[in-house]
Amino acid sequence: MNRIRDEKGQAMVLAAGLLLLFVGIAAVVLNLGWWLHDKRDAQNDVDASVLAGAQDLPDQVAAESAAETWAADNDAGDALLTPCEFVDMTGDGEADLIRCTVERQPGSLQKGLVDVGTITIRAKAAAAKMRAVAACVTPWAVIGNPNDGPLQGGHWGLTPQQLYIFHTSDFMTPGNFGALALYGNGAIDYKQAIETPCGTGTQGACNLPDPEVPVGETLQCGAKTGNMGQNTDDALTQRDTNYGADAATCDVDTYDEALWMIQSSAACAAARAVLIPIIISWPPQGASGPVEILGIATFYIINWDRQPPYGNVDVDGDGVDDDAMVWGYFMENVPVIPAWNIVWGYSDDPFAPIMISLVE
């Protein structure tokens, strides 16, 4: 009887010990989950803060103030450590990168479960304002509102997060899949303007030797006539290859996915973040008059028509062909550049618009 009593006692001690062990493991796992959640939250906060700050570079005071303002408006203000760091990446004497750090205590249950001492979460990020040579202007266009330009405080009516068809065979375009003759009228010129930064020719944009656009004015450019569906598919496929991108990875469905690709994948950002001209309108059907370019905006190509007959994809899923060849999202976090602030003449850096992107 005593032996049975002793064995029961040992079993109860063992069970109590195992229970304490399991509780300890559960507490550690729970704390770890909270810590990972807080770490991701801190990283998201600092990513957004530096992206906000980079808009105002090279003005370091304004850039740091913008980062602090974003952090404060989104309940991360006390955690953003200042001063932030600034770097001159191009050697021109002006800062083009901002690096900030967020530091905070985890909001976990560790004090009540496992005493592991004080833990501090740190997250660091850097964003840069860079010349977007690799994302040169592509020979397509979107329709903008000329009464909502930078001089009026707008960006020509472009709608954030709206899906745009910027290469179309719509009846509004004179049989040319919505293309512009940016670097010549030939099919080779057209393909090169997509495959490589600004093509390989030596002429200025729109066949003008050195076009200069007065403030508030537009750049006149011709439309690209002819069925360019096969050339577009081939050129975009080659562009992916040139930048080491993978269609299975870079093709996305939503704006958030497109933004994530630009911020996290160098290959997808280089291949799919493209500069699209904003125009007032296409010429009337059957006409070939000049097109007025208001400026350029950054879009992310989420997909294009890869199967003939080209240009008849139902993009919005309403059962009606939208005559779409290439489509994507307007990236609202990248500044829209008016035509009069673009170097349209030929050079080693023909357009040199500004792109803002996370680099760390």
> What is 174-216 written as a DSSP string?
SSSTTEE-TT-SSHHHHHHHHHSTT-S--SPGGG-SS----TT
271 and 147 part of one domain: yes
What residues have CB less than 8 Å from 140, skipping those under 6 apart? Answer: 166, 167, 178, 179, 180, 276, 277, 326
96 and 177 part of one domain: no
72 and 160 part of one domain: no
pLDDT confidence of residue 357: 67
61 and 150 part of one domain: no
99 and 202 part of one domain: no
The pLDDT tens digits of the residues spanning 31-47 come to 656 656 777 878 888 88
Print the domain residue range for 81. Answer: 2-129
pLDDT confidence of residue 179: 86
Output the six-digit token pair for 245: 């991108």
Biggest alpha carbon–alpha carbon distance for the chain: 107
120-129 residues labelled b (16+ CB within 10 A) or e (exposed)? ebebbbbbbb
Residue 83 DSSP SS3: strand
Closest CA to 262 of 181, 203, 328: 328
Q: Is residue 182 part of a domain?
A: yes
Last residue of a domain, one of 129, 157, 185: 129
303 and 230 part of one domain: yes
| Regions of the chain short of the pLDDT cut 50 | 110-112, 132-135, 199-200, 346-353
Last residue of a domain, one of 88, 103, 129: 129
Q: Is residue 228 part of a domain?
A: yes
Last residue of a domain, one of 129, 150, 166: 129
Q: Is residue 73 part of a domain?
A: yes
pTM over 0.85: no
Interatomic CA distance for residues 339 and 206, integer angstroms: 13
254 and 149 part of one domain: yes
Interatomic CA distance for residues 219 and 343, integer angstroms: 11
124 and 150 part of one domain: no
94 and 186 part of one domain: no
156 and 277 part of one domain: yes
pLDDT confidence of residue 195: 84
Cα dist. 307→168, 187, 296, 304 in Å? Answer: 15, 19, 28, 9
196 and 310 part of one domain: yes
Q: Is residue 233 part of a domain?
A: yes
pLDDT confidence of residue 199: 46
Q: Give long-range contacts, CB 8 A cutoff, 24+ apart: 197-203.
A: 197/133, 197/134, 197/135, 197/136, 198/133, 198/136, 198/137, 198/350, 198/351, 199/136, 201/346, 202/346, 203/346
Q: Is residue 285 part of a domain?
A: yes
In the chain, how many domains are there? 2
55 and 22 part of one domain: yes
